[in-house]
Amino acid sequence: MNMVSIARTEPDKLEGDTPTMRLFALLEVIAEKDHPFSLQGLVEETGLPKPTLHRMLQQLETVGVLQRESDGRHYSTGVRLRRLASNLLINNTYHGSRRIVLRQLVEEVGESCNLTSFTGSEVMYLDRVETAAPLRFYLHTGSRVPAHCSSSGKLFLAQMAPAQRRRLLEHTPLTQYTSKTCTDPVALERELETVRRNGYALDDEEFLPGLLCVAVLVPNPTGRSNLAVAIQAPIMRLTHDKALHFLPALQRAAQALASIESETARSVANS
């Protein structure tokens, strides 16, 4: 749906065709894109006059919401907009309910557990509950880790369309963090195919030496998921076989988190 039709069919949500709401509607269009965009492309997509759109893009670029790409013709999301999105994900009203699920999972498996989301080209920790065990790896809420060598990241990559994943990985260095990090794009594609079939992913000392993680996606009945839940522990306590043994508990937690997401979506729809 283009921006003009949104303004016409949802006047209660936009509260009139004001400059502020036109900018907000433009941001909604931009938020759906997974690649840089041009002024001409937005003109064709929205039907708005080119001078109007050019002025709007300049306003958003000036305040850091958008940024100009190196070719000078394309735009992408700016630092300020990405920070806003990250803060919204972290500081949400149903944070407490999701944290209870994580705490229950930690009690069941005895290891640290986290909830993550995919942002830009990285995995961000939305929440994390630590084990009481004295030896543990600490990654605080808001931490970002690379996608290609993290269990959650592999899940997010595996569910992407091949073209989208290829475009992302072409511009994202497959940095080698440990001797086990996969830096070969062909080998990574093979592993992502296995992840897609299995429905879970492992990080076996690929990001940090001595750390093993197992993750599953939080189901999203409306489409692709942008949430994953994971168990993380030192390899002296969490072996490959033990990680697979924890899968049922991990999947139950993912279903519980999915229920929270669904209930929240219904509440928003009815409000």
Q: State how far the Cα of 67 lies from the Cα of 171, in Å rounded to an integer.
A: 17
List, for residues 113-131, the tens digit of each pLDDT value: 999 999 888 999 999 999 9
Alpha-carbon torsion angle 65, 71, 72, 73, nearest 10 = -90
Q: Residue 163: what residue type?
A: A
Sign of CA dihedral 86, 91, 93, 96: positive
Residue 231 has pLDDT above 50, yes or no: yes
User: 195 with 186: CB under 8 angstroms?
Assistant: no
pLDDT band at 192 (very low <50, low <70, confident <90, very high): very high
The pTM score is 0.68
Other CB atoms within a 10 A radius of the CB of residue 33 amount to 14
Report the SS3 class of residue 193. Answer: helix
Q: Kindly tell me if the per-residue pLDDT of 262 is higher than 90.
A: no
Q: Report H helices in 47-78.
A: 50-62
Identify whether the C-beta of residue 253 lies closer than 8 Å to the C-beta of residue 105: yes
Quote the pLDDT of residue 90.
67
The per-residue pLDDT for range 132-154, each reduced to its tens digit, is 888 877 777 888 999 999 999 99
| Closest of 174, 169, 152, 170 to residue 226, by C-alpha | 152
Overall average pLDDT of the 191-197 stretch: 97
Q: What's the pLDDT score for residue 271? A: 62
Strands 112-119 and 122-129: antiparallel
- How far, in Å, CA of 254 to CA of 167, rounded? 29
